[in-house]
Amino acid sequence: MGLFSRLFGHSSSTDRTTRNKKLSFKKSHVTDFPGELTILSVATANKNKGSICAIGLIYLHPENAFTSVDYICPQSKRFSNSEYNQIYPETVKDCPKFPDVLGKVLPYINGKNICMYSMFHWEAIVRACKHYKIEAPHPKNILDLHDCSVQLFNLPSYTMDDVADKLDEDYIRGDIESTNCLNEAIVNYMVQKHSRLIKPYVDNWL
């Protein structure tokens, strides 16, 4: 069972606003991560990268590890991705706007080492910042887990379903909690089995 499934269980779309919980390493895949890392994922209402309707975060640190998912009411009224990510207009109608949520997660992005499955997630955050005319975050390092996974499994191209199969992880396509859980499993696999791949990124992370 995936990390988010263990922590949160199943929830209906109507109770989605903000969820976060302290995370001990006994419940995390990463039991010996060499430093500090923020794992990010976003969901968008449509193909426009700026239409962020959720931000998922896993923060890994020996003294303060936790997970959070914040749902966002986007400016866009088009929710063409709803069938994919199960986030509908009624899901987020009473949720905060992007600038408010960004302010909450900013301490775990600015000056931090962050990673996500593809640069789409980071580009979405930057695009949303431009839309709201606010300064984009300034992470210390950005690690693209897709590029790492290409090296890990020696596959030219594949989906997150393929990665989940390789790691024997539960994965619900399009679900932001499941996506972040899979991201964390990839990090753990690199730390535990293929340290040579992650070493260039963590040499200065302590």
CA-to-CA distance for 2 and 142, rounded, in angstroms? 24
Q: For residue 61, count other CB atoms closer than 10 A to its CB.
A: 16
Confidence of residue 19 (pLDDT cuts 50, 70, 90): very low
Give the tens place of pLDDT for each residue, 184-197. Answer: 888 888 777 756 65
Give the tens place of pLDDT for each residue, 36-83. Answer: 889 999 999 998 888 999 999 988 887 777 888 899 999 888 999 998
Higher pLDDT pick, 100 / 190: 100
pLDDT above 60 for 4: no
Q: CA end-to-end span of the chain, whole Å?
A: 30
Higher pLDDT pick, 125 / 61: 125
Q: Which residues pair with 57 in a beta bridge?
A: 40, 68
Q: Which two tokens stand for residue 143?
A: 């690690």
DSSP, collapsed to helix, strand or coil, labels residue 44 as: strand
> HEC profile for the chain?
CCHHHHHHCCCCHHHCCEEEEECCHHHCCCCCCCCCEEEEEEEECCCCCCCEEEEEEEEECCCCCEEEEEECCCCCCCCCCHHHHCCCHHHHCCCCCHHHHHHHHHHHCCCCEEEECCHHHHHHHHHHHHHHCCCCCCCCEEEEHHHHHHHHHCCCCCCHHHHHHHHCCCCCCCCHHHHHHHHHHHHHHHHHHCHHHHHHHHCCCC
**pTM for the predicted model, two decimal places:** 0.79
CB-based contacts of 193, cutoff 8 Å, min separation 6: none
Higher pLDDT pick, 126 / 47: 126
